[in-house]
Amino acid sequence: MDKKKEFFQDVTRRDFCRKAALTAALTLGGFAILPKGISSGESELTIKGKVREKYQGLSRQDLLIKAYEQGACYTQNSGSCSQSAVAALHEILVIDDVVVKVATSSCGGQAGMVMGTCGGLIGGTIALDYFFGRPPEGMSNDASKKADINALRSAMGQAKLLYDKYIEEYGTVLCLAIQQQLFGRHFYLRDPDEYKKFRAAGSATDPTKCMHIVGNAARWTMEILLDKRVVEQRKPTSGLIKCVRVQLIKNNVQVTAHVPGDGAIEHINEHDEVIIAKVGGAQGGPKGTMVGVRYKVVSVNGVALSEILAGKKQKPAR
């Protein structure tokens, strides 16, 4: 087990170095969303409310390593790449048990048919939808509403972040193609003999095979959740506050800003330029239960956030 942990940490840290080397310096005026991968002193605090008690002392990097390790270990011991990816996040974060259950059979390229999407990606997407997905009240069976469609598009935007990580790493999201990369061939998992060969090839014992794929899926999903800065209020029944980390280019000061409005955070992406205002009045202190959050986003890429949410204007691309 120690050898596997060493492998998990080595893979994760090498990936951190690669991301750090690719991070570009921000040069535009005003405020801009920090690039993914940049951690700050508040990373642990903003996610702390959702992290299970036994993991609350972990740093951002340690949470990512833990997500990777749990994804790999669940794959080794329980199978189902889709369910293992969700189970890894459920182990660390407060997620309803039923979310793990619904991810059971979307594995092996969908029900073991090998022709579909990698189960790790499906499991990660299920977890993202748990946090960012459109609720039932945001749907209608008798009328089409623009707000409902916008909520759908917002959730799809979060899922695409995970999809993009798959494409960057493997060049594909298909189980068949990823198996080809790992084993030099693919396996039809519904056939008992093929499944035995799949297991004999190290699918659930070799930490560089499926364990690595699911570990990555869990880690990337956790990274997206951390980057989106979902902050839980201190009152148990208060729900969630959506925040982003912003940086003042003039003096490089970094602050956390609340993004007001239902689904508003989905309209803010990496490197967007935003304008923020104080939420605590003239004194500039925190407001209500938003401890440590003194600012709110009022504009994105030159357009008022309220107008974007109302559907009056589209956010300009950058």
What residue type is assigned to position 257 of the chain? Answer: A
> Of the candidates 195, 227, 259, which is a domain's last residue?
227
Q: How far is CA 291 from CA 43, 227, 243, 285, in A?
A: 14, 19, 12, 9
Do the beta carbons of residue 308 and residue 315 sit within 8 Å? Answer: yes
Residues 294 and 172 occupy one common structural domain: no
Classify residue 253: in a domain, yes or no: yes
> Of the candidates 202, 227, 252, which is a domain's last residue?
227
Classify residue 21: in a domain, yes or no: no
Classify residue 7: in a domain, yes or no: no
At residue 19, the pLDDT reads 38
Residues 175 and 54 occupy one common structural domain: yes
Q: pTM higher than 0.75 for the full model?
A: no
**Domain count along the chain:** 2
Do the beta carbons of residue 67 and residue 92 sit within 8 Å? Answer: yes
Q: Is the pLDDT of residue 48 over 80?
A: no
Rounded CA separation 64/215 (Å) = 10
Classify residue 114: in a domain, yes or no: yes
Residues 258 and 154 occupy one common structural domain: no
Which residue is it, tokens 């990369």? 181
Residues 88 and 220 occupy one common structural domain: yes
Tens-place pLDDT, residues 94-151: 899 999 999 999 999 999 999 999 999 999 999 999 988 888 888 888 888 777 788 8
Classify residue 30: in a domain, yes or no: no
- What integer best gives the mean pLDDT of the chain? 79
Residues 203 and 97 occupy one common structural domain: yes
Q: Which of 77, 79, 165, 171 is nearest to 124 (CA)?
A: 165
- Return the structure tokens found at 246: 């912003």
Specify which of 30-44, 93-107, 251-265, 283-297 reaches the highest per-range mean pLDDT: 93-107
Residues 270 and 151 occupy one common structural domain: no
Domain hosting residue 159, numbered range: 49-227
At residue 172, the pLDDT reads 96
Do the beta carbons of residue 95 and residue 133 sit within 8 Å? Answer: no
Classify residue 10: in a domain, yes or no: no
Classify residue 28: in a domain, yes or no: no
Contacts of 218 (CB under 8 A, 6+ apart): 67, 68, 70, 71, 84, 85, 88, 89, 120, 123, 124
Rounded CA separation 76/81 (Å) = 10
Residues 131 and 160 occupy one common structural domain: yes
Residues 245 and 292 occupy one common structural domain: yes
Tens-place pLDDT, residues 201-234: 999 999 999 999 999 999 999 999 888 766 343 3
